[in-house]
Amino acid sequence: MARILVVEPVAAAGVDVLSAAHETDVRLNLDRAAMLKALTEDGGWDALVVRSQTRVDADLLAAAAPRLSAVGVASVGTDRIDLDAATRAGVMVVNAPTGNTIAAAEHTMAMMLALHRRIPAADASVRAGEWERSRHTGSELRHRALGIIGLGKIGKAVARRANGFEMRVLAHDPYLTAEQASEHGARLVGLLELLQRSDVITVHLPLTPQTRGLIGRAEIEAMKPGARLLNVARGGIVDEAALADALASGHLAGAAIDVYATEPMAPDNPLRSAPNTVLTPHLGASTAEAQERVAVEMAEQLLEALAGVTPIYAVNAPAVAPDVAPRLRPYVDLGRRMAILARQLSPAAFDCVALTYAGEIGGWDPSPIRTAVLAAILEAVTDQRVNAVNADLVATERGLAVRESRSESSGAWASLLSLETGEGEGALRLAGSTAHGRPHLAAVDGFEIDAELAGRMLVTRHRDQPGIVGSVGTALAAAGINISSLELSRLSEHGEAMMFVSVDQPIPEAVLAELGDISGMVEVRVVELPGL
């Protein structure tokens, strides 16, 4: 059972999911020193759960080492997480990118309506005893051009709602095609065209080095006079000083801002005194429904990470499309088991690995398979944690060369994974696939084998001659060792043969020596693979 430390408020539904599977402790309002101390208590923690305030940096990761293996972020944004440091430490970071989609989209529309209908100012006026209807005359959304920067999950949800208000939707997103944008009622345009043609602009991007300051002074000056700007994404994307100046000069008619470069909002933030603004304290995901969805989504991802599975929303590990993940996962496990087998069967040390993806898996992103193979190979030669998060990095650092190729031909299998370690005479060549979701070895150095890759196996190479199989069975039976399955293959009649024998009990060295002395026996060894 893993130990999980929760240090920020997370909806009870998410905590319940974690608690049902592992020991989970909730400790809120810890200052930095108290948190670092807590991470070292009682032997440490396997996972840490944060939300949006805790800074997970190299110092915190070092304090939590070596036990910490995963960080769950109960939000979309991970800008408070040092992803490079987490990757080097082999700590998987998971978040909840879909749970707050509806809440953020609805908050965007609420901000847009409040801005256009001057609702905050009108509310304040009535509360002050005034009744000045003409001063609070607003404008309609219908037929206005809405520019959406970032047509991800939230951007698409905003586009659908804007279409319901009969707005004309423009979108800028370098990762989408025009056809994909049109499916959500948006016309794909360049950033400059969007800035110049939109009456309302809303930002829906993550905060990255590339998006920080994306909407700066030059971009704001390029906007249509009288336009309005919204940011319900991440602080730091919009230059707040430039925006305040544009509002004060009248170049922009208004702004609705939910996120800020510094949170809580700094006392000297120029937007506090800027005219025609609607300001909220980072409420985009603050609905009861969203908080529950986010908490549960994060918790489910974290449990997968702790179980050794790469979740679909792992931030610093190879991502897999949700529709592909269930089909790819058995091959990820297959790759891991083949690598463990290769590690034990390779005749010599090796510094290169070649992977070939044939059949259906050849059309998928093979990154999760590759990292599973590398992690299984490297974990035996290093004392640092190696997993899907840092396998590529560790392989590079240790000089392990990796070659990948694809093939349409997979023989009798729908998909076939081939793994080759080393080169020349010292090379080992394996091939494997899955049957009913279970990992199967299909070939070893040209021998066709259909052996399930699990548990303890006796592996022999011997001359193809009468009596060897019987002698092996007799020796194992005399030692009280039960055979659960046996697979035999030969390259040619009276040539060399190979046998994989799954056994239920350990095989003593004396019995291995006896097997090795059987006439015609070339090689005998025992391999250990994870159970199913």
Tell me the C-alpha distance between 262 and 236, whole Å.
8
Does residue 523 have an active-site annotation?
no
Identified catalytic residue from 234, 293, 385, 456: 234
Tell me the C-alpha distance between 9 and 1, whole Å.
23
Tell me the C-alpha distance between 517 and 355, whole Å.
36
Question: How many CA atoms lie within 13 Å of 45's alpha carbon, on the beta-carbon side?
Answer: 28
Which residues sit opposite 56 in a β-bridge? 81
Tell me the C-alpha distance between 119 and 108, whole Å.
15
Q: Which residue type occupies 494?
A: H
Does residue 22 have an active-site annotation?
no
Does residue 51 have an active-site annotation?
no
Structure tokens at 43: 């032997």
- HEC letters along 36-70: HHHCCHHHCCCEEEECCCCCECHHHHHHHCCCCCE
Q: Are 210 and 79 in contact (CB under 8 A)?
A: no
Q: Are 498 and 451 in contact (CB under 8 A)?
A: no
Structure tokens at 167: 């707005």
Identified catalytic residue from 263, 397, 423, 528: 263
CB neighbourhood size of 177 (10 A): 10
Identified catalytic residue from 51, 144, 184, 282: 282
Which residues sit opposite 255 in a β-bridge? 229, 277
Measured CA distances, 305 to 46, 120, 366 (Å)? 10, 44, 19
**What residues are labeled active site?**
234, 263, 282
